[in-house]
Amino acid sequence: MLFSPMKLGSMELPNRLVMAPLTRVRAGKQGVPGPLLAEHYRQRASLGLIVSEGTYPSHAGQGFPGQPGLVTEEQLKGWAAVTSAVHAEGGRIFAQVMHAGRVTHQDTNGGHPVVAPSAIAIDGETRTYEGKKPFPVPHAPATDELAGIVEEFVRASRNAIEAGFDGVELHGANGYLLHEFLAAGANTREDGYGGSPAKRARFVIEVTRAVVAAIGAQRVGIRLSPEHNVQGTLELDAADVQETYGILVDALAPLGLAYLSLLHKDPASALVQDLRARFDGTFLLNTGFGDITTRDEAVALVEDGLADAVVVGRPAIANPDLVRRWREGLPVNEPDASTFYGPDAIGYNDYPAYQN
């Protein structure tokens, strides 16, 4: 079943393998996708769906040096070349819209204020264009400032469609802005967007509804990572997690989104399968953040009915023809982690396809 077609939004996917959004920081200081990115994504067009690396919706939302954006005309022209290359090979590609929230620094985002639900800094350092620096204490936007951030997601999503993407994935995972609003430890607001699970879920719901209104539900997916506990965004109270994400998914389900993509290490857990049941739509599952997903694991996730499709990262990095290799049981290239982040084609576009 992993290699059988499926419907996602208004599209028909030829298989159920989805390329995970993978930070690769190869877009230069101006955040413009160049020929390097176009070739990288083109090579992987046989995957059922490609989700781009996280792209920032505003300059304040940039998290990493070398990250691409969906803000300037040059960035949109660069992405148009990427999407054209993927479509020419018969592929499908969504843009992941990612606001870094407090996971950034002014020396990375061009001097813009770092924003987060609450003025709580992450304990640690981040890479900037000027070297490693401690995470700053972020600005907590006033209630009347939040509508402007919602509009940043809407504008970036419209820009993505203009640049030829088939849709967008809202990044509500991995400790970035939307995830920060969901987590009690990162969100200590006392207005209508913090405190109870329902209030903490409110901002994510409003962003999703606004993007759906702008580009249509069939072009919108969302990625969540309950209990992932990375980048200072901790969710350690199981009951709170269940209530928060239950409220969130109950609100998202009636929108008719293209999909819900969940990152969680235990795909059969009561939490994961409860959220799937609540969503009652196309459900993507990614279990490979800590350990690389194998072919057998991916096959089992679909055949055991735990997910409609499987999201994979490192196997897709190292094998541009991953669908063929896994379908035919061929040997696979092993990913070289030392080249995951870098400026050039090494470890990016030089993994070979299988030769008969």
Give the list of residues 6+ apart from residue 15 with CB closer than 8 angstroms, or none.
Answer: 2, 3, 4, 5, 6, 46, 47, 48, 323, 327
For residues 260 and 283, is the Cβ–Cβ distance under 8 A? yes
Q: Give the count of beta carbons closer than 10 Å to the beta carbon of residue 236.
A: 11
Strands 49-55 and 17-19: parallel
Closest residue by Cα to residue 314 from 100, 65, 24: 24
- The alpha carbon of 136 is separated from its chain's Cα centroid by a whole number of angstroms, namely 24
Nearest-angstrom CA–CA distance, 331 and 315: 12
For residue 233, give the DSSP letter.
Answer: B
DSSP line for 209-270 = HHHHHHH-GGGEEEEE-TT--BTTB----HHHHHHHHHHHHHHHGGG--SEEEEE-S-TTSH
Closest residue by Cα to residue 104 from 126, 133, 131, 129: 126
Catalytic residue positions?
176
Nearest-angstrom CA–CA distance, 82 and 39: 8
